[in-house]
Amino acid sequence: MASSDSDVRSAPRIGVSTYLERAQQGVWDVRAAFLPDVYLNAVTASGGVALLLPPQAEQVADIAVAGLDGLILTGGADVQPELYGAERHPQTDAARIDRDAWELALFRAAERRRLPVLAICRGLQLVNVARGGTLQQHLPESLGTDRYRIGGGVFAENEVAIEAESTLSQILGDETYPVHSYHHQGIGRLGDGLAVSARSDDGLVQAFEGVGDGYLVGVQWHPEENTDDRRLFEDLVSQARAFAARQKEETR
């Protein structure tokens, strides 16, 4: 069924972080903003409008966030270990300084505005670092398993146990839940103001949520890869719609 004009006009604006990669098109070979379209499809299929947020000057993060109703911090390369005071592991990705700085600025701007946030894989790790937490830099070494990244661009299938009475349980239920994994790092020390909402059977934190007011949900897996279950994106869009309504009321 086609959306009405009023539905489109009232659709929440969801900012989605992107990253800069070299791209070739015809004679052009340049750096360009990049993001797999599965993220965009997940947002639009859930009733939101996706707005891309490529890395740029940190000082404009508050301006960028001011036009949003919700924020998604996406997956990708490892967060710099220098940001949480650790020595670099040989298997840690090369630093993406521009992306780390921009997404940290976006998250902090979102916190100041009390914007609903969904943090996915790297996004969860970045939020943990922003809140003073640490990461395990190479799970095959620290946990003795490569179950979370089998390589070759193929997502591993794992199961997570969701904590009862958590925000995540209200979205997905509190039973064991199947997920798509592609990561070799994970949560070490949990950051301030975060509560674990899911773990895998080896004890690794697979999801957390913010404590107190505001909406912050972080998942270590890739929900955008599950086209049959959009509930995490639908809940973010619902929270963003409520946020937009509150903002409208406050400006009256």
Known catalytic residues? 121, 222, 224
- 220 with 183: CB under 8 angstroms? yes
Q: How many angstroms separate the CA atoms of 12 and 159, rounded?
A: 31
Q: How many angstroms separate the CA atoms of 112 and 138, rounded?
A: 32
Q: Count the neighbouring beta carbons within 10 Å of the beta carbon of residue 247.
A: 13
162: β partners: 198
Q: How many angstroms separate the CA atoms of 56 and 166, rounded?
A: 35
List the structure tokens of 215. 């909406």
Q: Count the neighbouring beta carbons within 10 Å of the beta carbon of residue 2.
A: 5
Element (H, E) at 64: helix 61-66
Q: Which of 113, 19, 22 is nearest to 75 (CA)?
A: 19
Q: How is residue 59 annotated by DSSP?
A: G
Q: Count the neighbouring beta carbons within 10 Å of the beta carbon of residue 69.
A: 24
Burial of 86 (0-12, 13-18, 19+ CB in 10 A): middle
